[in-house]
Chain A
Amino acid sequence: MLKTLGRRWREKLDFGLFTLPVLICIAVAFYIPFVMTIRYSMTKWNGISKHPKFVGLDNFQQIFTGDSNFSSSAWFTIKYAVLYIVIVNVLAILLAVLLDMKLKSTSWLRAAFFIPYILSLVIVGFIWKFIFMQGFNSLGESTGWSFFGLSWLGTPGLAFISILGVSIWQSIGFYLVIYIAGLQSVPDDLKEAATVDGAGAMRRFFSITLPLLAPSITISVFMALTNSIKVFDVILSLTGGGPGGTTYSIAYDIYRDTFQNNLYGYGTAKALILFVAVLVVTIIQLTVFKRREVEA
């Protein structure tokens, strides 16, 4: 009796010793800040006064009714996220299909497309700023193409395309790698059987390869979604939000309100809205995509 009681206590102690460290660290990194965020979001606070003033849901009301920065940055983020998710995944699938063939240079090619992904996005933004501002001049002079003479960071529409293009350039290697791994698990005999049945390359791709790639697509879209909703670093270093404030994303807008305009309470309210949006969108995406997956 005593012995079993002792063992049960030992098990409980073990359980605590193994799981407490991680719980404490996660609480410090996420839960405590998260609860504080909820509290601050209902206050007016400039970060200096000792006591934030409680204002209830006023911040939220103001954000949804009278904040043109928020609506324009939300619109920017939605446009960016949709285009990014579609383009990066389509390009990565196409490239993966090509690189899945047995070519001599396959491993070099895969590495080449992956390299930008190991660079920090802030640095990628600066490198491209240099290319857009200085490099395109020289390229324009030597090729005579008017394409290079456009103001890629100076006009709103083009600046949007630049941010999108640079983000895709940086991350396509990541999605490529996931799709190549997915393609390698598509059984060859299925493709052969389809060829025997007289299916052409296009038909094989759309009726066999693509459906069996569904798990990879779910993951890649999920990653692309969560990353694009939070787009920040590349904008900071590439356009700084310009020209004329047209390239602010939600994450950037929150950063600006909180740390540059010292609207601590107001900024955290926006941050909370971002969290809810991310939560809802990812849950919807995962359930919809999971339902469409098929087993090989």
Chain B
Amino acid sequence: MKTNNNKAGRIILEVVLVILSLLFLYPLFLTIINSLKSFSEVMTDVIALPKHLALSNYSYVWKFINYPRLFLNNFIITGLGLLGIVFISSIAAYKLARTKSRLSGIIYFLCIMPMLIPFQSIMLTVLQTAKNLNLSESTWGLGLLYWGFGAPLAVFIYHGFVKGIPTEIDESATIDGASSFRLFFSVIFPLLKSVTTTIVIIDVMWIWNDFLLPLLMVNGSPDTKTLTLAAYTFVGQYTSDWQYAMTAMVMAVLPSIIVFIFLQKYIVKGVVAGAVKG
């Protein structure tokens, strides 16, 4: 009797949770269906399904914001940013974790301390520094800038992980005559695979969607914009053309959703690992 009760309770609970999650995602559903409507249809009834699929919204926005170009920009910025963050942070964290000296302690502290500095506290002067270094108004420059912004968390996570790798591994490789770079890339780095995945996932979600830094850095020309930035300016120009606005939203968001669907398991794991270590 008791187990029956339990079973019925579970089924009810499950149904309630599924309904709750559908309600939770309802705003996204509304976004998608309204991106497929004409202006007048959006204005008369938002919650109705589209009567005729207005796919022209998509081709209009695609051309207007030069979607392929923006997509490429996002790709370059994120890719360049990630490569740099992983490279400079992993080598530094490895050396810092293996060297027991006061200098090493100080450098480690200097590396992770910026995690406490809010971006808004330095945004003006970051922009100035970037201008002085000729990094502003350029896709590649923005990607490079992310190296420094992503490094503190990455160094922190790598450092914690390297401490768990036995030093005997280093010693035996050194006896075999490997140089320290060789040792790092052929022995240590492969051992860091799981933590690298975590860092890549956290940083992809962050850099791909970042808004304020691109707004300050690459907002000047339509050719250097990112997807989020373009969606932002687009809506600013077409405040009342909601059908185009919703189309731009869907197009800006779609790559993230597709990636999420395929890498769901790793993303969730990465977030957990990153948060627990961070």
Residue numbers of A with Cβ under 8 A of B are: 14-15, 18-19, 21-23, 25-34, 36-37, 40, 98-99, 101, 103-105, 108-116, 118-123, 126-128, 130-131, 134-135, 137-139, 142, 169, 174, 177-178, 181, 215, 219-220, 223, 226, 229-230, 232-233, 237, 250-251, 254-255, 258-259, 264, 267-268, 271-272, 274-275, 278-279, 282
Query: What residue in chain B is nearest A20 (Cβ atoms)?
Result: B92
A-contact 0/1 string along B99-137, CB 8 Å cutoff: 100001001001100101111111111101100010000
Contact of B205 among A26, A115, A118, A282 (CB under 8 A): A118
Inter-chain contact B256/A118, CB cutoff 8 Å: yes
Inter-chain contact B253/A119, CB cutoff 8 Å: yes
Query: What residue in chain A is nearest B21 (Cβ atoms)?
Result: A112
Say yes or no for B260: interface residue by CB 8 A criterion. yes
Question: In the assembled complex, how far is the CB of residue B139 from the closest CB belonging to chain A, in whole angstroms?
Answer: 17
Q: A18-B91, A255-B123 are in contact. Are A278 and B242 (CB under 8 A)?
A: no
Ranked 10 nearest A-B pairs via Cβ: A29-B148, A120-B209, A33-B125, A18-B95, A25-B148, A36-B125, A22-B92, A30-B114, A112-B21, A275-B121
* Residue contacts A-B, CB under 8 angstroms, 30 given: A14-B180, A19-B95, A21-B88, A22-B155, A23-B107, A23-B110, A26-B152, A27-B148, A29-B148, A29-B151, A103-B10, A105-B17, A112-B24, A113-B21, A114-B267, A120-B209, A126-B249, A130-B31, A130-B242, A131-B30, A135-B47, A138-B46, A177-B272, A181-B276, A219-B276, A251-B118, A259-B124, A264-B124, A274-B121, A275-B117
Q: How far is the CA of A33 from the CA of B114 in the complex (A)?
A: 11
Q: How far is the CA of A29 from the CA of B42 in the complex (A)?
A: 44
The residues in B between 132 and 178 inclusive whose CB is less than 8 angstroms from any CB of A are 133, 145, 147-149, 151-152, 155
Question: In the assembled complex, how far is the CB of residue A53 from the closest CB belonging to chain B, in whole angstroms?
Answer: 17
CB neighbours (8 Å) of A130 from chain B are 30-31, 34, 242, 245-246
Known: A126-B245, A138-B46, A255-B212. 6 other contacts (CB 8 A): A18-B184, A21-B88, A104-B14, A120-B252, A130-B246, A254-B121
Binding site secondary structure of chain A: helix
Say yes or no for B28: interface residue by CB 8 A criterion. yes
Query: What residue in chain A is nearest B84 (Cβ atoms)?
Result: A25
Inter-chain contact B242/A115, CB cutoff 8 Å: no
Inter-chain contact A131/B242, CB cutoff 8 Å: no
Query: What residue in chain A is nearest B234 (Cβ atoms)?
Result: A126
Query: What residue in chain B is nearest A16 (Cβ atoms)?
Result: B95
Say yes or no for B189: interface residue by CB 8 A criterion. no
Query: What residue in chain A is nearest B154 (Cβ atoms)?
Result: A22
A-contact 0/1 string along B213-239, CB 8 Å cutoff: 000100000000000100110010000
CB neighbours (8 Å) of B246 from chain A are 127, 130
CB neighbours (8 Å) of B276 from chain A are 178, 181, 215, 219
Instruction: Kindly name the residue among B43, B96, B271 whose own CB sees the greatest number of chain A CB atoms within 10 A.
Output: B271
Q: How far is the CA of A26 from the CA of B45 in the complex (A)?
A: 51
Inter-chain contact A33/B122, CB cutoff 8 Å: yes
Inter-chain contact B242/A134, CB cutoff 8 Å: yes
Q: A34-B117, A118-B256, A255-B123 are in contact. Are A135 and B46 (CB under 8 A)?
A: yes
CB neighbours (8 Å) of B275 from chain A are 174, 178, 219-220, 223
Q: How far is the CA of A169 from the CA of B32 in the complex (A)?
A: 18
CB neighbours (8 Å) of A264 from chain B are 124
Inter-chain contact B14/A126, CB cutoff 8 Å: no
Inter-chain contact A120/B211, CB cutoff 8 Å: yes
Say yes or no for B27: interface residue by CB 8 A criterion. yes
Contact of A103 among B17, B43, B84 (CB under 8 A): B17
CB neighbours (8 Å) of A274 from chain B are 118, 120-121
Inter-chain contact A33/B129, CB cutoff 8 Å: yes
CB neighbours (8 Å) of A219 from chain B are 275-276, 278
Q: How far is the CA of A223 from the CA of B104 in the complex (A)?
A: 28
Say yes or no for B13: interface residue by CB 8 A criterion. yes
Q: How far is the CA of A98 from the CA of B89 in the complex (A)?
A: 38
Say yes or no for B264: interface residue by CB 8 A criterion. yes
CB neighbours (8 Å) of A279 from chain B are 116
Contact of A25 among B18, B88, B209 (CB under 8 A): B88
CB neighbours (8 Å) of B210 from chain A are 120
Question: In the assembled complex, how far is the CB of residue B277 from the closest CB belonging to chain A, in whole angstroms?
Answer: 9
Question: In the assembled complex, how far is the CB of residue B116 from the closest CB belonging to chain A, in whole angstroms?
Answer: 6
